[in-house]
Amino acid sequence: MRALSASELLEVWEHGLDQGPVERALALWGAASPETRREALAALSIGRRDAALLTLRKWTFGPRLACLAVCHHCGQQLELTFNVDEVLLSPLVEPDGAATMTVAGYELQFRTPNSLDIAAVVNGHETDEQRKILFERCLLAARRQGKPATPAELPSAVVEVVVERIAGMDPQADVELNISCSSCGQQWRAVFDIVSFFWSEIDAWARRLLLEVHLLASAYGWQEGDILALSPWRRQCYLEMVAG
Protein backbone atom coordinates (compact mmCIF):
# COMPACT_ATOMS: atom_id res chain seq x y z
CA MET A 1 0.00 0.00 0.00
CA ARG A 2 1.20 3.53 -0.76
CA ALA A 3 0.12 7.12 -0.18
CA LEU A 4 -2.11 8.81 -2.77
CA SER A 5 -1.24 11.96 -4.66
CA ALA A 6 -3.63 14.91 -4.66
CA SER A 7 -4.85 14.08 -8.17
CA GLU A 8 -5.40 10.40 -7.28
CA LEU A 9 -7.33 11.25 -4.14
CA LEU A 10 -9.41 13.78 -6.05
CA GLU A 11 -10.26 11.14 -8.66
CA VAL A 12 -11.37 8.64 -5.99
CA TRP A 13 -13.51 11.35 -4.38
CA GLU A 14 -15.18 12.25 -7.67
CA HIS A 15 -16.03 8.66 -8.50
CA GLY A 16 -17.26 8.00 -4.97
CA LEU A 17 -19.74 10.86 -4.78
CA ASP A 18 -22.67 8.66 -5.85
CA GLN A 19 -21.47 5.50 -4.10
CA GLY A 20 -22.16 4.00 -0.70
CA PRO A 21 -19.72 3.58 2.22
CA VAL A 22 -18.57 0.09 1.25
CA GLU A 23 -17.76 1.11 -2.33
CA ARG A 24 -15.98 4.25 -1.13
CA ALA A 25 -13.86 2.29 1.33
CA LEU A 26 -12.85 -0.23 -1.34
CA ALA A 27 -12.12 2.55 -3.84
CA LEU A 28 -9.74 4.26 -1.40
CA TRP A 29 -8.08 1.00 -0.41
CA GLY A 30 -7.83 -0.13 -4.02
CA ALA A 31 -6.29 3.14 -5.22
CA ALA A 32 -3.63 2.86 -2.52
CA SER A 33 -3.06 -0.85 -3.25
CA PRO A 34 -2.94 -1.11 -7.06
CA GLU A 35 -1.00 -4.37 -6.82
CA THR A 36 -4.05 -6.15 -5.33
CA ARG A 37 -7.26 -6.90 -7.20
CA ARG A 38 -10.40 -5.22 -5.87
CA GLU A 39 -12.10 -8.62 -5.46
CA ALA A 40 -9.27 -9.78 -3.22
CA LEU A 41 -9.49 -6.67 -1.06
CA ALA A 42 -13.26 -7.04 -0.75
CA ALA A 43 -12.82 -10.60 0.55
CA LEU A 44 -10.54 -9.49 3.41
CA SER A 45 -11.96 -8.79 6.86
CA ILE A 46 -13.48 -5.45 7.84
CA GLY A 47 -10.74 -5.03 10.42
CA ARG A 48 -8.04 -5.41 7.75
CA ARG A 49 -9.86 -2.84 5.61
CA ASP A 50 -10.29 -0.34 8.44
CA ALA A 51 -6.67 -0.72 9.55
CA ALA A 52 -5.59 0.05 5.99
CA LEU A 53 -7.84 3.12 5.88
CA LEU A 54 -6.49 4.37 9.20
CA THR A 55 -2.96 4.05 7.87
CA LEU A 56 -3.92 5.79 4.62
CA ARG A 57 -5.57 8.56 6.59
CA LYS A 58 -2.37 9.01 8.61
CA TRP A 59 -0.36 9.31 5.40
CA THR A 60 -2.88 11.72 3.86
CA PHE A 61 -3.82 14.16 6.63
CA GLY A 62 -1.46 13.27 9.48
CA PRO A 63 -1.72 11.16 12.64
CA ARG A 64 -4.02 13.44 14.62
CA LEU A 65 -7.79 12.87 14.49
CA ALA A 66 -10.41 15.36 15.65
CA CYS A 67 -14.16 14.75 15.75
CA LEU A 68 -17.24 16.05 17.53
CA ALA A 69 -19.64 14.31 19.89
CA VAL A 70 -22.80 15.53 21.61
CA CYS A 71 -23.60 14.52 25.17
CA HIS A 72 -27.00 12.83 25.15
CA HIS A 73 -27.49 13.86 28.80
CA CYS A 74 -26.89 17.64 28.75
CA GLY A 75 -26.48 18.41 25.05
CA GLN A 76 -22.94 19.75 25.38
CA GLN A 77 -20.86 19.54 22.19
CA LEU A 78 -17.50 17.91 22.80
CA GLU A 79 -14.37 17.92 20.66
CA LEU A 80 -12.43 14.65 20.73
CA THR A 81 -8.79 14.47 19.64
CA PHE A 82 -6.64 11.36 19.49
CA ASN A 83 -3.91 9.76 17.39
CA VAL A 84 -4.40 7.14 14.70
CA ASP A 85 -2.15 4.73 16.60
CA GLU A 86 -4.52 4.87 19.59
CA VAL A 87 -7.29 3.21 17.55
CA LEU A 88 -5.09 1.04 15.33
CA LEU A 89 -5.43 -2.35 16.97
CA SER A 90 -3.62 -5.65 16.59
CA PRO A 91 -5.91 -8.64 15.87
CA LEU A 92 -6.01 -11.30 18.58
CA VAL A 93 -5.89 -13.96 15.85
CA GLU A 94 -5.62 -13.86 12.07
CA PRO A 95 -9.09 -12.51 11.13
CA ASP A 96 -9.25 -13.69 7.52
CA GLY A 97 -9.06 -17.42 8.19
CA ALA A 98 -11.83 -19.77 9.25
CA ALA A 99 -12.22 -20.63 12.93
CA THR A 100 -13.86 -23.61 14.59
CA MET A 101 -15.40 -24.24 17.97
CA THR A 102 -17.85 -26.59 19.66
CA VAL A 103 -20.76 -25.11 21.60
CA ALA A 104 -23.52 -27.15 23.28
CA GLY A 105 -22.73 -30.13 21.08
CA TYR A 106 -22.66 -28.13 17.84
CA GLU A 107 -19.46 -28.22 15.78
CA LEU A 108 -19.20 -24.83 14.09
CA GLN A 109 -16.95 -23.30 11.44
CA PHE A 110 -17.12 -19.58 10.75
CA ARG A 111 -15.19 -16.51 9.61
CA THR A 112 -15.17 -12.75 10.15
CA PRO A 113 -17.32 -10.45 7.96
CA ASN A 114 -15.82 -8.78 4.92
CA SER A 115 -16.86 -5.93 2.62
CA LEU A 116 -18.94 -8.26 0.44
CA ASP A 117 -20.96 -9.29 3.50
CA ILE A 118 -21.55 -5.70 4.58
CA ALA A 119 -22.61 -4.71 1.05
CA ALA A 120 -25.17 -7.53 1.10
CA VAL A 121 -26.94 -6.23 4.20
CA VAL A 122 -26.62 -2.43 4.19
CA ASN A 123 -29.68 -1.74 2.04
CA GLY A 124 -33.26 -2.90 2.22
CA HIS A 125 -33.13 -4.75 5.54
CA GLU A 126 -34.12 -4.01 9.11
CA THR A 127 -31.42 -4.28 11.77
CA ASP A 128 -32.50 -7.72 13.01
CA GLU A 129 -32.64 -9.04 9.45
CA GLN A 130 -29.19 -7.58 8.78
CA ARG A 131 -27.74 -9.46 11.74
CA LYS A 132 -29.42 -12.67 10.60
CA ILE A 133 -28.10 -12.42 7.04
CA LEU A 134 -24.62 -11.45 8.22
CA PHE A 135 -24.47 -14.42 10.59
CA GLU A 136 -25.64 -16.82 7.89
CA ARG A 137 -22.98 -15.55 5.48
CA CYS A 138 -20.21 -15.92 8.07
CA LEU A 139 -21.28 -19.36 9.27
CA LEU A 140 -19.45 -21.79 7.00
CA ALA A 141 -20.64 -25.07 8.52
CA ALA A 142 -22.59 -26.42 11.48
CA ARG A 143 -23.00 -30.04 12.55
CA ARG A 144 -24.44 -31.87 15.52
CA GLN A 145 -23.88 -35.55 16.13
CA GLY A 146 -22.41 -35.79 12.64
CA LYS A 147 -25.46 -34.30 10.92
CA PRO A 148 -25.53 -30.86 9.21
CA ALA A 149 -27.51 -28.12 10.96
CA THR A 150 -28.91 -24.98 9.34
CA PRO A 151 -28.43 -21.52 10.90
CA ALA A 152 -32.13 -21.45 11.77
CA GLU A 153 -31.73 -24.64 13.83
CA LEU A 154 -29.03 -23.18 16.07
CA PRO A 155 -30.20 -22.14 19.57
CA SER A 156 -29.92 -18.41 20.24
CA ALA A 157 -27.38 -19.07 23.00
CA VAL A 158 -25.11 -20.84 20.48
CA VAL A 159 -25.48 -17.99 18.00
CA GLU A 160 -24.54 -15.45 20.68
CA VAL A 161 -21.36 -17.35 21.55
CA VAL A 162 -20.31 -17.50 17.90
CA VAL A 163 -21.07 -13.82 17.32
CA GLU A 164 -18.99 -12.90 20.37
CA ARG A 165 -16.14 -15.07 19.12
CA ILE A 166 -16.26 -13.45 15.67
CA ALA A 167 -16.09 -9.98 17.25
CA GLY A 168 -13.09 -11.05 19.32
CA MET A 169 -11.30 -12.28 16.21
CA ASP A 170 -11.48 -8.87 14.53
CA PRO A 171 -11.53 -6.07 17.13
CA GLN A 172 -10.49 -3.46 14.54
CA ALA A 173 -13.90 -3.85 12.92
CA ASP A 174 -15.68 -2.38 15.96
CA VAL A 175 -13.65 0.44 17.51
CA GLU A 176 -15.32 2.34 20.34
CA LEU A 177 -14.20 5.58 22.00
CA ASN A 178 -14.50 6.24 25.73
CA ILE A 179 -16.16 9.65 26.09
CA SER A 180 -16.64 11.73 29.23
CA CYS A 181 -18.65 14.96 29.19
CA SER A 182 -16.68 17.85 30.68
CA SER A 183 -19.91 19.64 31.65
CA CYS A 184 -22.01 17.01 33.42
CA GLY A 185 -19.57 14.13 33.86
CA GLN A 186 -21.70 11.67 31.86
CA GLN A 187 -19.64 8.80 30.42
CA TRP A 188 -20.40 6.55 27.47
CA ARG A 189 -18.85 4.64 24.59
CA ALA A 190 -19.33 5.61 20.94
CA VAL A 191 -18.46 3.72 17.77
CA PHE A 192 -15.72 5.28 15.64
CA ASP A 193 -16.28 4.62 11.94
CA ILE A 194 -13.11 5.36 9.99
CA VAL A 195 -14.92 5.03 6.64
CA SER A 196 -17.42 7.84 7.23
CA PHE A 197 -14.89 9.94 9.16
CA PHE A 198 -12.18 9.72 6.49
CA TRP A 199 -14.64 10.29 3.65
CA SER A 200 -16.03 13.43 5.33
CA GLU A 201 -12.49 14.77 5.59
CA ILE A 202 -11.77 13.93 1.96
CA ASP A 203 -14.99 15.59 0.84
CA ALA A 204 -14.17 18.83 2.67
CA TRP A 205 -10.57 18.72 1.40
CA ALA A 206 -11.61 18.11 -2.22
CA ARG A 207 -14.05 21.02 -2.27
CA ARG A 208 -11.40 23.35 -0.81
CA LEU A 209 -8.87 22.09 -3.33
CA LEU A 210 -11.18 22.68 -6.28
CA LEU A 211 -11.70 26.24 -5.12
CA GLU A 212 -7.94 26.71 -4.92
CA VAL A 213 -7.54 25.29 -8.43
CA HIS A 214 -10.21 27.70 -9.69
CA LEU A 215 -8.52 30.72 -8.11
CA LEU A 216 -5.04 29.85 -9.39
CA ALA A 217 -6.25 28.86 -12.83
CA SER A 218 -8.14 32.14 -13.11
CA ALA A 219 -5.15 34.16 -11.93
CA TYR A 220 -2.33 32.45 -13.82
CA GLY A 221 -4.00 30.42 -16.55
CA TRP A 222 -2.45 27.18 -15.25
CA GLN A 223 -3.89 23.75 -15.97
CA GLU A 224 -5.45 21.69 -13.18
CA GLY A 225 -2.72 19.07 -13.33
CA ASP A 226 -0.01 21.69 -12.92
CA ILE A 227 -1.74 23.16 -9.87
CA LEU A 228 -2.30 19.75 -8.26
CA ALA A 229 1.37 18.91 -8.78
CA LEU A 230 2.35 21.83 -6.55
CA SER A 231 3.09 21.06 -2.92
CA PRO A 232 0.45 22.34 -0.46
CA TRP A 233 2.97 24.91 0.84
CA ARG A 234 3.75 26.33 -2.61
CA ARG A 235 0.07 26.34 -3.56
CA GLN A 236 -0.72 28.31 -0.40
CA CYS A 237 2.01 30.84 -1.19
CA TYR A 238 0.52 31.48 -4.62
CA LEU A 239 -2.98 31.78 -3.12
CA GLU A 240 -1.72 34.39 -0.65
CA MET A 241 -0.14 36.38 -3.49
CA VAL A 242 -3.37 36.24 -5.45
CA ALA A 243 -5.33 37.40 -2.41
CA GLY A 244 -2.80 40.12 -1.67
- What's the pLDDT tens digit per position in 93-114? 566 778 999 999 999 999 999 9
**pLDDT-derived band of residue 244, with 50, 70 and 90 as boundaries?**
confident
pLDDT of residue 90: 72
Tell me: pLDDT of 199 over 80.
yes
| 137, 154, 169 - which closes a domain | 169
> Does some domain include residue 178?
no
| 169, 202, 230 - which closes a domain | 169
> Does some domain include residue 183?
no
Tell me the mean pLDDT in the region 127-151: 93
Beta bridge partners of 190: 177
Is 103 in the same domain as 152? yes
> Does some domain include residue 89?
no
Tell me: pLDDT of 22 over 80.
yes
CB hemisphere CA count around 9 (13 angstroms): 24
Evaluate whether 70 touches 77 at the Cβ level (below 8 Å).
yes
> Does some domain include residue 18?
yes
Residues 90, 106: Cα–Cα separation, whole Å: 29
By the 10 Å C-beta count (0-12 exposed, 13-18 middle, 19+ buried), 179 is classed as middle
Evaluate whether 113 touches 140 at the Cβ level (below 8 Å).
no
Domain limits at 120? Answer: 99-169
Question: Alpha-carbon dihedral of residues 159, 160, 161, 162, nearest 10 degrees?
Answer: 50
Is 108 in the same domain as 154? yes
Angle at 238 between CA 234 and CA 243, to 5 degrees: 145
Evaluate whether 3 touches 59 at the Cβ level (below 8 Å).
yes
Counted domains in the chain: 2
CB hemisphere CA count around 184 (13 angstroms): 12
Tell me the whole-structure pTM to 2 decimals.
Answer: 0.90
